């Protein structure tokens, strides 16, 4: 009869065990990519309030050149839509390239 030490049993178990678990970091990265939350989004989020002058518009995501936002107020939506080109130009200046092509806002 063979005798295994506890350490040998652990090593054998680790070799035999196959995990179907996914690392949390890879899940978070996938979610960030789906929502368009890259480094540029966080730069945009920091300057959004300053450039729009509004605390009532919440950024939701950024994907394929489109910045998504929500607001409970139609007046805020109308204000941003009137100044959309100006805001896009300003935000692109912070990014040092023309990454933002459009802003889509919805009433929540």
Q: What is the pLDDT of residues 2-55, one digit of tens each?
A: 666 767 766 666 655 566 677 788 888 888 877 767 777 888 888 888 888 878
Instruction: Please say whether the dihedral angle defined by the alpha carbons of residues 72, 36, 88 and 50, taken in this order, is positive or negative.
Output: positive
Helix or strand (DSSP H, E) at 9 = helix 6-16
Q: What is the pLDDT of residue 12?
A: 64
Task: Give this prediction's pTM.
Answer: 0.67
Mean pLDDT on 88-107: 92
The answer as to CATH 3.40.190.10 being correct for domain 36-108 is: no
Question: What percentage of residues in the chain have a pLDDT greater than 70?
Answer: 83
């Amino acid at each position: 009869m063979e005798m295994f030490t506890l350490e040998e049993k652990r090593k054998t178990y680790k070799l035999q065990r196959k995990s179907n678990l996914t690392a949390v970091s890879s899940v978070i990265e996938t979610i960030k990519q789906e929502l368009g939350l890259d480094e540029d989004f966080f730069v945009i989020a920091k300057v959004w309030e300053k450039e729009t002058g509004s605390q009532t518009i919440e950024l939701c995501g950024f994907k394929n050149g489109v910045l998504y936002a929500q607001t409970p107020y139609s007046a805020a939506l109308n204000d941003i839509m009137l100044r959309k080109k100006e805001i896009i130009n300003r935000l692109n200046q912070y990014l040092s390239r023309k990454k933002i092509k459009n802003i889509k806002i919805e009433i929540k």
